[in-house]
């Protein structure tokens, strides 16, 4: 992506729509680095009648993943490892993250990976960036909408094959330092405000699940964003990894006849 197109905030225009809307790539972290551009985003949110997040955050700001990421009855995490492998993983997670895998026997590896990721991230703010934006929109008196539903998001997580999740957990256990570095670099990568770079990072991390986690959702979100912004000027806040790429939301909206231009973030 050209330097001039390096932005996480984009203006959306269409000849048949009187007032512009905006697309903002957000991140679910509390690290100060991710909050650098919030005042610029607020200024453009003020120009809109509504904020559309990935889903209605007033329903359940932080989803209870333990409710949906349970293993099938009769299965446990130990079933996916030899006794020696399991004991080694238990020691590594306890030493590195103070997490005892035995307490998560009946949950999928994805829940465990999510807990470890949350632990590694900085907690500079009381709530994550997307939640802060949602709260501020309410204080401004804006309509607040969901592009997807919480049920749709949870259904996507439940479709991630168990074998793939086990592979990710094995990889984490084999190289804790690499996993820690990758997680902690994410907010810094976000602060560079380069959607193409963020897309590449997400694409690498999703491996063979790009269609499920990225592309299919991008097409759904682009269709629904079009419907929303034809009704009223809306700032649409979605995960930054969904913006760029051939099947990214920016390109998909352009294919629907919208003109998008990057807004400098200061």
Contact 78, 106 (CB under 8 A): no
The pLDDT tens digits for 46-78 are 999 999 999 999 877 567 778 789 999 999 999
Give the pLDDT of residue 88. 97
Name residues whose C-beta falls within 8 Å of residue 109's C-beta, 6 or more positions apart in sequence.
Answer: 77, 80, 162, 165, 166, 168, 169
Give mean pLDDT, residues 142-148.
Answer: 98
Residues in the chain: 266
The pLDDT tens digits for 156-198 are 999 999 999 999 999 999 999 999 999 999 898 899 989 999 9
Crossing angle of helices 129-139/38-45, nearest 10°? Answer: 40
Contact 42, 135 (CB under 8 A): no
For the chain, percent of residues with pLDDT exceeding 90: 77
Q: How do beta strands 259-262 and 9-13 pair?
A: antiparallel
DSSP codes of every residue in 83-145: HHHHHHHHHHHHHHH---GGGGTTB-HHHHHHHHHHHHS---SSS-HHHHHHHHHHHTT-EEE
Task: Name the band, by pLDDT with cuts 50, 70 and 90, for residue 1.
Answer: very low
d(CA 129, CA 121): 13
**Tokens 């809307």 identify what position?**
21
For the chain, percent of residues with pLDDT exceeding 70: 97
d(CA 4, CA 128): 28
Give me the residues paired with residue 52 across strands. 145, 236
Mean pLDDT for the chain overall = 93
Q: Which sign does the torsion angle of CA 222, 227, 230, 231 carry? A: negative
d(CA 143, CA 134): 10
Give the pLDDT of residue 253. 98
Give mean pLDDT, residues 115-128.
Answer: 90
Q: Domain residue spans in the chain?
A: 3-64+109-262
Alpha-carbon Rg of the chain, whole angstroms? 19
Give mean pLDDT, residues 85-90.
Answer: 97
Does residue 4 carry a pLDDT above 60?
no
The pLDDT tens digits for 109-119 are 999 999 999 99
């Amino acid at each position: 992506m050209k330097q001039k197109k390096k932005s996480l905030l984009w203006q959306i225009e269409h000849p048949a729509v009187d007032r512009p809307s905006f697309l903002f790539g957000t991140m679910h972290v509390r690290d100060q680095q991710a909050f650098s551009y919030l005042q610029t985003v607020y200024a453009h949110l003020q120009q809109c009648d509504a904020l559309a997040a990935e889903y209605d955050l007033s329903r359940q700001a932080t989803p209870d993943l333990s409710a949906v990421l349970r293993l099938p009855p009769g299965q446990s995490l130990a079933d996916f490892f030899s006794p020696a492998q399991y004991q080694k993983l238990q020691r590594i997670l306890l030493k590195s993250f103070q997490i005892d895998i035995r307490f998560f026997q009946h949950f999928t590896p994805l829940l465990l990976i999510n807990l470890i990721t949350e632990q590694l991230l900085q907690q500079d703010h009381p709530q994550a960036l997307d939640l802060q934006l949602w709260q501020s929109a309410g204080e401004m008196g804006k309509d607040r909408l969901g592009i997807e539903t919480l049920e749709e998001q949870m259904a996507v997580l439940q479709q991630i094959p168990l074998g793939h999740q086990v592979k990710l957990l094995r990889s984490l256990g084999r190289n804790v330092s690499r996993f820690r570095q990758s997680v902690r670099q994410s907010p810094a990568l976000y602060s560079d405000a380069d959607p193409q770079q963020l897309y590449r990072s997400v694409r690498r991390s999703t491996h063979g699940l790009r269609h499920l986690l990225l592309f299919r959702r991008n097409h759904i979100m682009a269709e629904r964003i079009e419907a929303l912004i034809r009704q009223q000027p809306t700032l649409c806040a979605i995960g930054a990894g969904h913006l760029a790429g051939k099947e990214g939301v920016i390109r998909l909206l352009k294919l629907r006849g919208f003109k998008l231009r990057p807004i400098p973030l200061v």
